[in-house]
Structure 1
Amino acid sequence: MSPRPESAAPAADHHRVPRFTRAEHRVHRATAALMAVCVATAACLYLPFLAELVGRRALMVTLHEWSGILLPAPLLLGLVSRALRADLTRLNRFGPHDRTWLRAVLRRRGARPAGKFNAGQKLYAAWLAGAVLVMTGTGLLMWFTHLAPLVWRTGATFVHDWLALSLLIVIGGHVWMAYRDPESRAGLRTGSVEAAWARREHPLWRPEEGADGKRGMEGADGKPGNP
């Protein structure tokens, strides 16, 4: 017997489409691991009860310094991946549909059009990239004391400490949002997502382009561009 139309619909909803490549998954995991070491060692250096519990301050300082210096390394190495370069281009494009998405989030009503990445993800990526650069620069001034006069190092310490606190808050929000969306996490872990989720959360994205970006990407208006 041929399947009934209504019984075929759920199967179509569970069809999976490619979202990320293995290289992107590895870059994300390596960056997350280095960031976790940075945050954990910073906590051991700044919070007295953790400093007393862990001890070995010199080791914590060394781990913190080198994990911070190496933080950009996974992304830089990952640039050999065409898929990663294509997604960085997507993240760097902010169009009218992104402003519509932000207004809908702020007003808590209305449609939320998004390409492969929504406006919130684009803002988070841009902010994180800038924060990492500032943290690296100020950290170098604090590490190599001969690079600048005392007043510069004092300012660098102030900026480094407060930016670290804001990083902790923003990353916590990122982790919380990921926890609330299992399918989004599955996209990074397995490289694919359910077609129904893609249509609902990223309606302007064309999953048939694949994760490698070979068939073009969304333009500034959220529509697919030319190959």
Structure 2
Amino acid sequence: MNPRVDAPAVESAPSARVRRFSRAERWVHRITAALMGVCVVTAACLYIPQLAELVGRRALVVTVHEWSGLLLPLPVLAGLASRAFRADMTHLNRWGPHDGVWLRKALRRVPGARPAAKFNAGQKLYAAWITGATLVMLGTGLMMWFTHLTPLVWRTSATFVHDWLALTIGIVLAGHIGMALGDPEARKGLRTGSVSREWAEREHPLWRS
């Protein structure tokens, strides 16, 4: 499906900035990132012996890890009350021919501009993957938490999936943060809600808001 093309939400001045994220969207991202960070740090303290010895108080770390994981979906669910957030969810789930071109150029490291609407194909893949991974982690975590609800073989399998998927999430998150650190204007968009017109036209030439 081709991306929607409407009038861009920018001012007439050449130096105008483009509104990219609403306040609600920025807070959803911040709270989700904070909860995910707590999950990752507490998991590291539980599984890396050196950190476990340094931090101690394993029971408290387990409790913080469990509750931060349980709360992780709530910011997204609360964000559904925002029209702008729902619109961006639609953008993230809408794929077009330009996304295939973006992926091919990215995989082959072809220099030059890559076609992208409000979100590029890499961001769409990341959003889909991290959403699925979070749901799997929530499900397996609940099996490990409420041990009396499932048989031992289920809990053993859940532990295996939970541990290895946690490692994968840590690696993917590190890549996500690395990409963000390499794009100051994208970070500014998440911090202030707007990006420069030049950045929007260069990185997301098909984006119209």
Match runs of 1:1-227 below 5 Å: 12=14, 14-109=15-110, 111-206=113-208, 209=209
Contact 2:113 2:203 in 1 (8 A): no
Question: What SS is found at the alignment partner of 1:193?
Answer: strand
8 A contact 1:102–1:119 mirrored in 2: yes
Shift of 1:108: 1.3
Letter in 2 for 1:35: M
Aligned amino acid, residue 202 of structure 1? H
**Mapped partners of 1:103, 1:50: distance in 2:** 41
Q: Note the C-alpha offset of 1:95.
A: 1.1
Aligned length: 196
Q: Give the match's secondary structure for 2:35.
A: helix
CA distance in 2 between counterparts of 1:83 and 1:183 reads 20
Aligned equivalents of 2:95 and 2:150: distance in 1?
37
Q: What is the alpha-carbon distance in structure 2 between the residues aligned to residue 152 and residue 80 of structure 1?
A: 36
Give a deviation string over 1:70-122, Cα, whole Å, max 9, x none.
00000001100000000000001111100000001111116410000000000
Which structure has the bigger radius of gyration? Answer: 1
Distance in 1 separating the partners of 2:155 and 2:37: 25
TM-score (norm 1): 0.85
Identity of aligned residues (%): 73
**Is the 8 Å Cα contact of residues 37 and 67 (structure 1) preserved in structure 2?**
yes
| Separation of aligned partners in 2, 1:87 and 1:127 | 16
- Which digits, 9 at most, give the CA deviation of each residue in 1:30-55, with x for residues without a partner? 00000000001001100000000000
Is there any run of 5+ residues in structure 2 with no aligned partner, and where? Answer: 1-12
The answer to whether the 8 Å contact 1:104/1:111 transfers is: no
Q: Structure 1 runs of 4+ off > 2 angstroms?
A: none
**C-alpha distance in 1 between matches for 2:68 and 2:122:** 27
Q: Considering Cα pairs closer than 8 Å and 6+ residues apart, tell me whether 1 or 2 has the greater RCO.
A: 2
Amino acid of the residue matched to residue 79 of structure 2? G
Cα 1:23/1:191, change in 2 over 3 Å: same
> Structure 2: how far apart are the matches of 1:189 and 1:151?
45
Give the gaps of 5 or more residues in structure 1: 1-10, 210-227
**What amino acid maps onto 2:47 in structure 1?**
Y
What TM-score do you get using the length of structure 2 for normalisation?
0.92
Q: Which residue does the alignment assign to 1:215?
A: none
Opposite residue 120 of structure 1, the aligned amino acid is: G
RMSD: 0.9
CA distance in 2, matches of 1:132, 1:107: 29
Is the partner of 1:117 in helix, strand or coil? coil
